[in-house]
Amino acid sequence: MSGDGRAGVLETMRAVAWSFFGVRRRADHERDLQRLNPVHVIIAGVVGAAIFVGLLVALIRWVVSSGVAA
CB-based contacts of 9: which residues, under 8 Å, 6+ apart?
40
* Share in percent of the chain as helix, strand, coil (round to 5): 75, 0, 25
Cα separation values, 59 from 38, 47, 54, 63, Å: 31, 18, 9, 6
Q: Where are the domains of the chain?
A: 9-65
The pTM of the full predicted model, rounded to 2 decimals, is 0.71
Report the 10 Å Cβ neighbour count for 67. 7
Per residue of the chain (70 residues), what is the pLDDT tens digit? 444 567 788 888 888 888 888 877 888 888 888 888 889 999 999 999 999 999 999 999 999 998 765 5
